[in-house]
Amino acid sequence: MSHISEEQVRHVATLSRLEFSDAEIQEFSREMNQILDYFVKLNELDTEGVPPGSHPLKTSNVLREDIPRESLSNELALSNAPDKEEGFFKVPQILPGD
Amino acid sequence: MEAYELTVTQALERLQRGELSCEEWTRACLDRARAVDGRVRAFVQLDEDGALASAREADAARKAGAQAPLLGAPIAIKDNMHIKGRKTTCSSKMLENFTAPFDATVVAKLRDAGAVFLGKTNLDEFAMGSSTENSAFFTTRNPWNLDYVPGGSSGGSAASVAAYETPFALGSDTGGSIRQPAAFCGIYGLKPTYGRVSRYGLVAFGSSLDQIGPLARNVEDIALLLNVISGKDPRDSTSSDIPAPDFTQALGRGVKGLRLGIPKEYFVEGVDPEVKSAVHQAIDRLCAQGAEAVEVSLPHTEYAISVYYICCTAEASSNLARYDGAQYGHSAAGSENIVELFTRTRSEAFGKEVKRRIMLGTYVLSAGFYDAYYLKALKVRTLLQRDFERAFEQCDVIVTPPVPTPAFRAGERIDDPLQMYLGDIFTISVNLAGVPALCCPAGFNAAGLPLSVQLIAPIFSEERLIQTASVHQELWRDKNIRALQI
């Protein structure tokens, strides 16, 4: 059964910021359809009224006092940066233009 | 007995009596690693100089009368946790040259406890896989048979412990990544309760599932290591403030009156007969010591793989969005604009399984499919959690096989992702429910590969696992001894 077309796989790749060759797109389409076909099993279950669950600890919105404390130095935070300038990360053009 | 063969508990006693120095112990492990790791390939980095320097410091501290629970104990760390100033590669081209700017909380705790870091161990890239075959660098081999995988994703940690290159190690477990390699390599491996151990400084994969835990050749060392790494951490808001007990106190408590739950869904067709038989034997032996077996049901087990691979890929697609080529890690040279930088960086440096999971995760979260896949999976996750809650009304510890088969041959499953995923059936429900579980060695199959039994307890009841495993360990002592052929 086909759940996802090659066209949709290309769209998901764009959303994922990944690019693939045509052959890879075909392979991903086949594999993803196989896996999504397996996921269909979940539809056997009636989950009406069941709350969605994540981790088992009943904690939510853990708050703390906003107290300034020492953090990574600018130098250390930039120590792995591929490109940097004057204490900032340096990236290529973001907005299109001249 | 060579120093590298000692358990941590044994070696600490010898250090205390002055019969062994920290430097001798660390040197013995490093020599052993140098002798066997060319074949096992457990380590991605072995830090000989750093380890020996720490060991000498530990000797000096001991002479000065310092007390710390693991003072001078060598340990291996899975290469997805930060040791400040050392590389954290996640066995990925993306982080091949990434140097950790801070210590993970578990590493800081080990440092305070006096541990000596031997090096970083191999994993499936970003902990995504069940064999270490997804490592961008090399595949680790099973010390019991080098043609077989050690399991994954903490395969390097498990293999290094099994091959006596280190007495114990840290791994991380998102869907079985400590327990399955422990089972494949014939050692103990514990996934603590979600929230028991801080995840700060563990490179995130599936944040609602990830948990750091110990791997060792005996249960005493599991308890010692769990003592050191447990506890609330202000840097991880999901870590729990439920106090951690002294887990070594659970050793030798016996199993009299303990109710062992046997879930029928874990003994189905398709499970290797030798795997089943080892688990049944383990149950019988515990019952002979006063435990009682009761049948329980975890009725939603067959849905766990779907729920897991929806939740973990969704979380992974979000967590791995940070690899953008701008802040750290690989960066595609000569990109014209920022979208090109993102796309080329990620396409060049992520491996196939990582891309597959990012794609699946992005799809199940995308507009129009969110309700059908992700929301549905979260609802079934609630049902899986309720399964465990109900089962634990009737029993104290659940006993299951951890894997449907013993270790498989390298190359055997790598081209069929779905088959690889299906092998995780008995470990993933534990992560989805957040409960703790411990894999214990249970002899060998006819081919000489390790067999294992998985013990599962209610949340924050790791003591019951250690209590049960310490009885199990005594009962299996003769069956678990076998000479390694490496």
Say if CB B248 and CB B223 are below 8 A apart. yes
The chain-wide mean pLDDT, for chain A, equals 91
- In this structure, the number of other CB atoms found within 10 A of the CB of residue A59 comes to 13
Q: How far apart are the CA of A1 and the nearest CA of chain B, in angstroms?
A: 16
pLDDT tens for each residue of B338-369: 999 999 999 999 999 999 999 999 999 998 89
Q: Are strands B259-263 and B397-400 parallel, antiparallel or unpaired?
A: parallel
Q: How far apart are CA B16 and CA B46, in angstroms?
A: 27
Domain range A6-44, CATH architecture: Orthogonal Bundle (1.10)
The pLDDT assigned to B422 comes to 86
- In this structure, the number of other CB atoms found within 10 A of the CB of residue B376 comes to 22
Q: Are strands B188-191 and B437-444 parallel, antiparallel or unpaired?
A: antiparallel
pLDDT tens for each residue of B411-422: 998 888 888 888
Write out residues 129-158 of B within 8 Å (CB-CB) of A.
Answer: none
What's the number of domains chain B is made of? 1
pLDDT tens for each residue of B138-147: 999 999 999 9
Contact criterion met (CB < 8 Å) for A59 and B238:
yes
The alpha helices in B260-299, defined as continuous H runs, are 273-288
Instruction: Evaluate whether residue B278 is within a structural domain.
Output: no
- B78 is annotated as an active-site residue: yes
pLDDT tens for each residue of B226-282: 999 999 999 999 999 999 999 999 999 999 999 999 999 999 988 999 999 999 999
Instruction: Evaluate whether residue B354 is within a structural domain.
Output: no
For residues B112-139, average pLDDT: 98
Residues of A in contact with B300 (CB under 8 A): 45
* Three-point CA angle B215, B435, B470, nearest 5°: 45
The pLDDT assigned to B34 comes to 97
Say if CB B374 and CB B365 are below 8 A apart. yes
Instruction: Evaluate whether residue B44 is within a structural domain.
Output: yes
Residue of A nearest to B372 (CA): A43
Name beta bridge partners: B197: B230
The pLDDT assigned to A1 comes to 61
Interface confidence, given as ipTM, is: 0.95
On whether any CB of chain A is under 8 Å from the CB of B195, the answer is yes
What's CA B125's distance to the chain center, in Å? Answer: 14
The pLDDT assigned to A89 comes to 96
The pLDDT assigned to B48 comes to 98
Q: How far apart are CA B222 and CA B176, in angstroms?
A: 17
For residues B435-452, average pLDDT: 97
- B177 is annotated as an active-site residue: yes
Given A54, A72, A77, which is nearest B208 (Cβ)? A54
Residue B193 sits in a domain of what CATH number?
A: 3.90.1300.10
Instruction: Evaluate whether residue B419 is within a structural domain.
Output: no
What dihedral angle (degrees, nearest 10) is formed by the CA atoms of B6, B11, B14, B20?
80
Contact criterion met (CB < 8 Å) for A93 and B300:
no
Position A60 pLDDT exceeds 80: no
Instruction: Evaluate whether residue B148 is within a structural domain.
Output: yes
Q: Could you say which of B153, B157, B317, B461 is catalytic?
A: B153
Q: Is A74 exposed, middle or buried (0-12, 13-18, 19+ CB in 10 A)?
A: exposed
Non-local (6+) Cβ contacts of B184 within 8 A are: B142, B148, B149, B150, B151, B155, B158, B403, B406, B407, B449, B450, B452
- B331 is annotated as an active-site residue: no
Instruction: Evaluate whether residue B51 is within a structural domain.
Output: yes
